[in-house]
Amino acid sequence: MASSMLSGATATPTRLAFLGSNFHFRRLPQKGLLCYSKNQKARIITPKCSLSSSRPASQPRFIQHKQEAFWFYRFLSIVYDHIINPGHWTEDMRDEALEPADLYARNMKVVDVGGGTGFTTLGIVKHVNAENVTILDQSPHQLAKARQKEPLKECKIIEGDAEDLPFPTDYADRYVSAGSIEYWPDPQRGIKEAYRVLKIGGKACVIGPVHPTFWLSRFFADMWMLFPKEEEYIEWFEKAGFKDVKLKRIGPKWYRGVRRHGLIMGCSVTGVKPFSGDSPLKLGPKAEDVKKSVNPLVFLSRFIIGTIAATYFVLVPIYMWIKDQIVPKGQPI
């Protein structure tokens, strides 16, 4: 499985620097990337598929709202563990993504935010006692699946909002969230909450999608939900106050490291809370009021279009698996 670690990267809307190397990349509109090196003149290179494509701040993203996500998972929960996970979030991917979370002690207090059916939690309880783990999700249908898993019987399972966590400040040793950030209307607020609930020295681990570079995949990604750029993850963590921010790339084995189609589970981002208390970041009111009534026709149309876009990403891993079977090993696919 192809993976790499980006340590201490800093991000702005126009520039991404990888500390510890001699390379700096500056994004040029429709011109690819400008690469600088100590020993080379600047030259234009074609963007690599492993780098995130630029993405406008505003996109339709028809399922990136809590009410739409609620109903989306009302039906998806029926087949989530058996059809969705095998193509996007395998056990070996899960274990690799959780490794940077440093779950090294059985008595650690862990919150699994957006824990859903408990698939990621199964990886957590390999290292932490189940009674010390809390699974939180807004979907009762997903949580019902988690309650059926025997290793999770002693976990605390609650409904809640990732952007307004029902935990006190300085509460947990570890914060884990896998496959949830893409449905947060305000990801920065969710990361800020992760900082708040952690104890000093605690570590947050957010696992989520990465934005595609291939035009068709990019179109459907932006129609469906939030596929962040790698730089955005790092920026959200750093703005919230986290230190030692790192990003680890993950992906299904049969993709052979290909990232141009985006990945529903494409990276694991970690950061350490350096000081006790709330995040130093100040934010305004929440972006979405779930209690506010919505137009049923607008809601239904958004839900249908978003679900159609999601179907594309059910087919992508099948397509990549077929290519993996056909193309000789060692050759790019």
Q: Is the dihedral of CA 272, 274, 280, 285 positive or negative?
A: positive
- 49 has a pLDDT exceeding 50: no
Coil/strand/helix, residue 164: strand
Same domain for 120 and 230, yes or no, is yes
Residue 35, pLDDT above cutoff 50: no
Q: Is the dihedral of CA 289, 292, 298, 299 positive or negative?
A: positive
Question: How far, rounded to the nearest angstrom, does the alpha carbon of residue 299 sit from its chain's CA centroid?
Answer: 25
Percent of the chain with pLDDT over 90: 58
Chain segment 113-156, per-residue pLDDT in tens: 999 999 999 999 999 999 999 999 988 988 999 999 999 999 99
The length of the chain, given as a count of residues? 333
Angstrom CA distances, 251 to 6, 190, 281, stand at 15, 24, 32
74 shares its domain with 30:
no
**Residues 15 and 126 both lie in one domain:** no
Q: Give the total number of structural domains in the chain.
A: 2
Residues 197 and 102 in one domain: yes
Residue 36 sits in the same domain as residue 123:
no
Residues 161 and 68: their CA atoms lie apart, in Å, by 14
Q: Are residues 208 and 255 in the same domain?
A: yes
Measure the CA–CA gap between 56 and 211, rounded to whole angstroms.
11
| pLDDT value, residue 302 | 72
Q: Do 17 and 123 fall into the same domain?
A: no
Q: Token digits for 46? A: 């074609």
Q: Is residue 279 included in any domain, yes or no?
A: no
Which residue among 272, 297, 316 closes a domain? 272
CA distance 77 to 303: 16
Residue 301 maps to a domain: no
- Measured CA to CA, the distance from residue 97 to residue 89 in angstroms comes to 10
**Whether residue 132 sits in one domain with residue 39:** no
Q: Are residues 40 and 174 both part of a single domain?
A: no
327 within some domain = no
Task: Render pLDDT for 253-286 as a digit per residue (tens, 0 to 9).
Answer: 999 999 999 999 999 999 999 999 999 999 988 7
As to burial, measured by CB atoms within 10 angstroms (0-12 exposed, 13-18 middle, 19+ buried), residue 42 is exposed
pLDDT at 48 over 50: no
- The encoded tokens of residue 191 equal 């990361």
- Does residue 62 surpass a pLDDT of 60? no
**d(C-alpha 5, C-alpha 3), whole Å:** 7
Determine, yes or no, domain membership for 326: no
What's at 331, amino acid-wise?
Answer: Q
Is residue 52 a part of any domain in this protein?
Answer: no
State the DSSP code for 100: G
pLDDT, the chain, mean = 80
Residues 120 and 235 in one domain: yes
| Single residue among 272, 292, 312 that ends a domain in this structure | 272
User: For position 290, what pLDDT does the model report?
Assistant: 54
pLDDT at position 10 is 36
- Please check whether residue 53 lies inside any domain of the structure: no
Q: Tell me if 285 is assigned to some domain.
A: no
Domain boundary (223, 239, 272) is at 272
Are 112 and 36 part of one and the same domain? no
Q: In which region does residue 243 sit, left (phi positive, over 0), alpha (psi from -120 to 50) or beta (all else)?
A: beta
Chain segment 215-239, per-residue pLDDT in tens = 999 999 988 888 999 999 999 999 9
- Based on the fold, state whether residues 171 and 40 are members of the same structural domain: no
The conformation of residue 80, written as its DSSP 8-state character, comes to I
In angstroms, rounded to a whole number, what is the distance separating the alpha carbons of residues 289 and 46? 42
* DSSP H stretches of helix in 150-225: 187-197, 215-224
Residue 9 domain boundaries: 5-45
d(CA 317, CA 218): 15
Q: Is residue 95 one of the residues assigned to a domain?
A: yes
- pLDDT for 47 equals 33
Amino acid at 228: P
Kindly report the pTM of this predicted structure. 0.78
Q: Can you give the pLDDT at residue 5?
A: 41
Domain CATH for 203: 3.40.50.150
More confident residue, 212 or 31: 212
Encoding tokens for residue 330?
A: 């060692």
